[in-house]
């Protein structure tokens, strides 16, 4: 792993730590993404972390269709299908946008498909953001029940 990648890993770990301490307030942007807005020396920025799943294109089977197999395949979810787990690969996208101007400017984006060595660091950050949002939800529910 290069020094630059090491540095990136350290910064992601720091973001995770700040999230754990409650210094970064994440909110749910999509069912699979969390976002947070943070003021920095160079202006206000929004960071988004998204977890997606990639399924490599399966080769098309040239054999005659087996009706029973097709039915089984249609009735089972993709993850349950034979080899489904092996074909699936989760990845993370981490995006930072500058909010200073009239429109958002993409400042950086990291894709763990291109930097797989950062996968685990982003997985920990994603879980921390998820816990942070769950904790907020729990607080709201606690207020509601008095």
Partner 1 sequence: MTPDQIKELAAQLAVPFYQDAAFWIGTVIGLAGVAFSALAFFEAKQAKRAAVEAGRVVKIETVKIELADIAQRLDKIDPSMDFPAVRDLLNEVNRKLRRQLAPFQRIKRYSVPCVALQQAFEEARAALDTVKPADPAADIAAIVVYNVMEGPLWTISSLVGEILGLFEAATIESPNEQRNEQSG
Residues that bind partner 1 (CB under 8 A): 27-33, 35, 48, 50-55, 57-58, 60-65, 70, 73, 78, 93, 95, 97, 104, 106, 109, 111
How many CA atoms, within 13 angstroms, populate the side-chain half-sphere of residue 121?
A: 21
Residue whose structure tokens are 């630059």? 4
Instruction: Give least dist CB 57 to partner 1, A.
Output: 4
In the complex with partner 1, which residue's Cβ is closer, 18 or 35? 35
Instruction: Give least dist CB 71 to partner 1, A.
Output: 11
Outline where 22-118 has alpha helix (H).
Answer: 67-75, 84-87
In the complex with partner 1, which residue's Cβ is closer, 60 or 141? 60
Alpha carbons 21 and 14: distance in angstroms, whole number: 10
In the complex with partner 1, which residue's Cβ is closer, 17 or 28? 28
Instruction: Give least dist CB 94 to partner 1, A.
Output: 10
Strands annotated E in the chain: 26-30, 33-40, 43-54, 89-98, 105-111
């Amino acid at each position: 792993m290069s020094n630059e990648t090491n540095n990136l890993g350290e910064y992601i770990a720091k973001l995770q730590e700040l999230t754990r301490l409650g210094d970064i307030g994440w909110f749910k942007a999509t069912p699979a993404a969390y976002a947070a807005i943070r003021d920095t020396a160079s202006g206000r920025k929004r960071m988004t972390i998204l977890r997606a799943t990639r399924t490599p294109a399966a080769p098309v089977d040239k054999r005659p269709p087996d009706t029973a197999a097709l039915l089984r395949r249609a009735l089972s979810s993709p993850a349950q299908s034979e080899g489904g787990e092996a074909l699936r690969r989760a990845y993370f996208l981490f995006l930072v946008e500058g909010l200073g101007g009239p429109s958002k400017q993409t400042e950086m984006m990291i894709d763990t498909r291109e930097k797989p060595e950062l996968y685990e660091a982003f997985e920990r950050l994603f879980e921390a953001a998820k816990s942070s949002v769950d904790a907020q939800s729990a607080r709201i529910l606690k207020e509601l029940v008095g």
